[in-house]
Structure 1
Amino acid sequence: MNDIAFLFPGQGSQRPGMGRDLVARHPELTDRYYRVADEVLGFELSKLCFEGSKEELLPTEITQPAVFLTGVAVLDVLRGHGVTPSVTAGHSLGEYTALVCAGVLEWTDALRLVRRRGELMAGVNERTPGAMAAVIGLSAAEVEELCARTHGRTGAVVEVANYNDPRQQVISGERDAVREVAAAAKAAGAERAVTLNVGAPFHCSLMRELEEEFTAELDTVAFRDPRLPVLANVTAAVVRTGAEAKDCLRRQLAGAVRWEETLRAIGDRGVASFVEAGPGRVLSGFCRTTLPDASCHPAGEAGRIDRFLNTWQRPDGTPLE
């Protein structure tokens, strides 16, 4: 069995210069995606991807379309080499790229959605300043208990936003409450509790106020039934219809990313090879920790794609070109 899963990263994976080497190697990507994206959004996203500084890429409303666009370009390159997944999933923002991969969304529609998603999320942070922190070395149950204690004592919002792997959970919520839980995690034996440099408290109940407005945005876009299995963040289960995919994106705003469960569900399908199709290597790390016997390939740059292609064969056993 030679099945493979494509995994698409989300916010936090952005890198200055992302996609630049892909366009240098595959200049057709410029007209196919980058110029179109600039026209759709009304600003030079391509220039920000290729030349933007770390600080220029940090605003949520910039980060999200930039990471998404890079993932779409990587997907195109992989498909051009004959690599097709048997299943796909994306982490948070990456779920939009996964839905493009599965044929649920047109990529330009998804680009508009992620841009609007980023704008709305940034607005929440302006009204209620929040934070996120990665807790490493405690179980999900232990981190949930710490969040519950702080919420019970203060009434402040602090919740597990990402169940990333057996050793890493990300908490999200009001700034002081996140700091308190991070400190309590260290006292409870966590190896680290690292504040994340993100633009809003994603995937917690502070985002629920966006659901109605973002649902109106989702309603403007056509959602088709998936052409291949795609797993949703909020359920860690396969999405069966376009309507279900739309509902999962709505729920994802304030719902936790159940990534460890997602990886295990993919592994239960007999898939043992994973490609991280986008910038960074974060998802490959989660994959190795969760499924230590799996083969994980970061493929967000031309050189990494080359290394993957040198090891991969088509399901019929023939090597890739």
Structure 2
Amino acid sequence: MTCYLFPGQGAQYPGMGRNLYEHSTEVRLLFEEASNNSGKDFAKLLFEGSEEELKSTDNTQIAVTLVNLASSQVLSERGIVPDICAGFSLGEYSALYQSGVITRGDLFSLVQLRGEIMERASRALDSSEGSAGMMAVIGLELDSVEAAIADIESVYVANHSSPIQVVLAGTDKAMSVAEIKLNEAGAIKIVHLKVSGPFHSPLMAAAREEFSEHIANTRFSDPTISVFVNVTGKSLRSGEDAKKYCLEQLISPVQWVASERGIMELFPERVLETGPGTVLSGLWKSLRNGLKCVAAGTLESINKLTD
């Protein structure tokens, strides 16, 4: 039994996906479809663009999704397909496509709209004091983080990433105050993330409202394989539930630890990080469950699986 874990925003880097693009005709067709859908040349953006260009949410979301799907495509060409899948934040849309909940055309349309809407909502929160954003708190358990930020307005738990890593979202001023409190509480390290907004928090309520019409007009089917969703950390039951969770995900924390533990209860034999980077492999390792998550987002890493 194989599980795919699809990374989300923050996993991007310039040049990602190039060797998959050069290797597979079907991957090149994926890029062409995404570029036609969005009006942007994504091969040029990924392979020639700067890190700053990729960081912009309206670019990042399709870019990461493209590399997720490219990785899945090349794995399938090698005879490797998933029985279980999950995606971190944006990566959940790749998981919904992989499990048959949404079509590829709807995937690209929704991801593009989601990126544009989230970027607008994030920029509306900018002030002279700085931009709203996210930061990872390493070395503290969830309860300790929640206690440290309890009295600070406009900062929220956004991701329960691992037993000792929690991501916060908030305004620039609130995050600065929170950082002091968290260091006092014993945080080992605090990392400001390469994202352009305070995602998965109530600060994205305007984005949820704007996105709701697009979600309502999209067909969501029941999943054909097990897919774990961020809002609950549990396996998805129906397409109707998926539609609801796509909206709630914008303002709710990512329950990644719960998802990982639910996946382990299905006893997968292999877990693959199907997309750019190794962030999810590192988070999986922190569970210390004895099963390794293997990176599968480059041609070299996929070749190692099949040699």
Moved more, 119-128 or 275-284: 119-128
SS state at 2:179 partner: helix
The answer on whether the counterparts of 2:57 and 2:118 sit within 8 Å (CA) in structure 1 is yes
Q: What TM-score, normalized to structure 1? A: 0.91
- Indicate conservation of the 8 Å contact 1:263/1:291, yes or no: no
Counting only pairs closer than 5 Å after superposition, residues 65-214 of structure 1 correspond to structure 2 as: 65-129=62-126, 130-150=132-152, 156-214=153-211
* In structure 2, C-alpha distance between the alignment counterparts of 1:223 and 1:230, rounded to whole Å: 14
* SS of residue paired to 1:48: helix
TM-score of the pair, normalised by structure 2: 0.95
Task: Give the SS at the match of 2:245.
Answer: helix
- The one-letter code sitting in structure 1 at the alignment partner of 2:136 is A
CA distance in 2, matches of 1:229, 1:171: 28
Distance apart, 1:143 and its partner CA: 0.5
List per-residue Cα deviations over 1:23-43 (Å, max 9, x = no partner).
112133212x11111111112
| CA distance in structure 2 between the aligned counterparts of 1:95 and 1:304, rounded to whole angstroms | 22
Matched residue, 2:216: 219
TM-superposed CA distance for 1:46, in Å, is 2.2
Structure 2 equivalent of residue 64 of structure 1: 61
Query: 1:296: which partner in 2?
Result: 293
What 5-or-longer segments of structure 2 have no aligned partner?
A: 127-131
Q: String of CA shifts for 1:211-259, please: whole Å, max 9, x gaps.
A: 2221101122211110001011000011111111111111000000000
Q: 2:305 aligns with which of 301, 305, 308?
A: 308
Q: How many residues align?
A: 302
Residue 72 of structure 1 contacts residue 107 of structure 1 at CA under 8 Å; is this kept in 2?
no
Q: What SS does structure 1 have at the residue aligned with 2:133?
A: strand
- Counterpart residue identity of residue 221, structure 2: R
| Structure 2 counterpart SS, 1:224 | coil
C-alpha contact (below 8 Å) 1:120/1:210 kept by paired residues: yes
2:50 aligned with 1:49:
no
For 1:179 and 1:193, how far apart are their aligned partners in 2? 11
User: What SS class does the counterpart of residue 219 from structure 2 fall into?
Assistant: coil
The CA deviation string for residues 132-163 of structure 1, in whole angstroms up to 9 with x for no partner, is 1100000000111112122xxxxx21111000
| Residue in 2 that maps onto 1:14 | 12
Would the aligned equivalents of 2:22 and 2:28 in 1 still touch at CA under 8 Å?
no
Contact 2:55 2:196 in 1 (8 A): yes
Matched residues in 2 for 1:61 and 1:289: separation?
A: 31
User: What residue number does 1:256 align with?
Assistant: 253
**AA at the equivalent of 2:44:** K
Paired residue type of 1:53: S
1:11 maps to amino acid? Q
Task: Kindly state the Cα deviation for residue 79 of structure 1 after the two structures are TM-superposed.
Answer: 1.2
Q: CA deviation at 1:111?
A: 1.1
Q: Secondary structure at the match of 2:166?
A: strand
Q: Is the 8 A contact 1:60 1:122 kept in 2?
A: yes
Q: Structure 2 CA distance, aligned partners of 1:10 and 1:182?
A: 24
Distance 1:256 1:201 in 2: 11
Contact 2:163 2:287 in 1 (8 A): yes
Deviates more, 1:163-172 or 1:127-136: 127-136
Contact 2:122 2:204 in 1 (8 A): no
Alpha-carbon offset, residue 50 of structure 1: 2.0
Q: Deviation of residue 308 (structure 1)?
A: 2.2
Aligned-partner Cα distance in 1 for 2:156–2:250: 13
Equivalent position of 1:26 in the other structure? 24
Paired residue secondary structure (1:108) = helix
> Quick check: 1:57–1:63 contact (8 Å CA) kept in 2?
yes
Equivalents in 2 of 1:80, 1:70: separation in Å?
15
The superposition leaves residues 238-285 of structure 1 with CA deviations (integer Å, 9 ceiling, x where unpaired) of: 111111111111100000000011001100111242100000000000
Unaligned runs of 5+ in 1: 151-155, 311-321
Distance in 1 of aligned mates of 2:26 and 2:62? 20
SS of equivalent to 1:274: strand
The 1:290/1:272 distance shift into structure 2, 3 A limit, reads farther
RMSD: 1.2
Which secondary structure state, in structure 2, belongs to the residue aligned with residue 170 of structure 1? Answer: strand
Report the secondary structure of 1:290's partner residue: coil
